[in-house]
Amino acid sequence: MPADTPWTPTRPTRSSPKGERRRAEIIAAAFTHFSAHGYRGASMVQIAAACGVSRAGLLHHFPTKESLLAAVLEERDRVNGDLFFRDTDPKRDGIDYLRHLLQVLVHNEGQRELVRLFATLSTEASEPDHPAYAYIANRFRWLAHDIDEAMREAQSRGLVRPAADLDGFGRDLIALIDGLQIQWLVDPTGIDIAGRTHRRLMEVLIADPMM
């Protein structure tokens, strides 16, 4: 995520380290609840209880359930960034970046509720007046941008098949992954998200990110 996300203006002002810590605790509890019960199934009252704050205390930090969800997603992006993308840069080594992307997909197969949350939100937030609209729209943009940069870097080193046309590749690859994740949610043993994505990449690449 870019540092200055569309969420920033809606965040309550935080002036104390204690407020920051409390905010982090709420986000952690909310992630657990959203993951266990889904976004709609989770309750603000239960989330407040889980981290020992009153409902008013919770609303001070997050005036709406949507704003709390936004913070959870931001935090997940940050964690994923640290876990998988800290040591890689699509502009520096495209194949290495794609390896990290495939590792995220493998990792996500153990994160059913997280995958479900992103799938639900991507559709739910498709109206411009939804609080997560800008987040979701931005997410598609920077993911596609990074994938396209990775492909161009690989191409510059002769690691892309000469016949491949990379125009729009990033958007299409995200679409394939999102669509596979939806089918995987319905049929977890029948769909190999990382395997199918890897296969798609190998129709275009000469170097195998998994080797």
Q: For the CB of residue 196, give the shortest distance to a copy of itself in the complex, in Å.
A: 6
Which residue, among 130, 134, 127, has the nearest Cα to 5 in the 3D structure? Answer: 134
Residue 54 found at the interface with a copy of itself (CB under 8 A): no
Which residues in the 138-157 window bind a copy of itself by CB under 8 A?
A: 140
List beta partners, residue 205. Answer: 160
Residue 120 found at the interface with a copy of itself (CB under 8 A): yes
Choose, by CB under 8 A, the member of 6, 96, 133, 152 that binds a copy of itself: 133
- In order of 105, 109, 192, 211, the CA distances from 102 in angstroms are 5, 11, 12, 12
Q: Cα separation of 72 and 26, whole Å?
A: 9
* Residue indicated by tokens 């194949």: 95
Q: For the CB of residue 117, give the shortest distance to a copy of itself in the complex, in Å.
A: 10
The one-letter amino acid code at 48 reads A
Choose, by CB under 8 A, the member of 63, 123, 156, 157 that binds a copy of itself: 123
Choose, by CB under 8 A, the member of 6, 77, 179, 207 that binds a copy of itself: 179
Residue 4 found at the interface with a copy of itself (CB under 8 A): no
User: Who contacts 93 (Cβ-Cβ below 8 Å, separation ≥6)?
Assistant: 153
Residue 73 found at the interface with a copy of itself (CB under 8 A): no
User: Who contacts 43 (Cβ-Cβ below 8 Å, separation ≥6)?
Assistant: 33, 37
Q: For the CB of residue 40, give the shortest distance to a copy of itself in the complex, in Å.
A: 8
For a copy of itself (CB under 8 A), the number of binding residues is 32
Choose, by CB under 8 A, the member of 124, 131, 152, 166 that binds a copy of itself: 124
* Residue indicated by tokens 């990074």: 146
**Which CB, 44 or 202, lies closer to a copy of itself?**
202
Residue 84 found at the interface with a copy of itself (CB under 8 A): no
Question: Measured at the alpha carbon of residue 201, what is the angle toward residues 133 and 193, in degrees to the nearest 5?
Answer: 60
* Residue indicated by tokens 């958007």: 171
- Residue ranges binding a copy of itself (CB under 8 A): 116, 119-120, 122-126, 133, 136-137, 140, 168, 171-172, 174-180, 182-183, 185-187, 191, 196, 199-200, 203
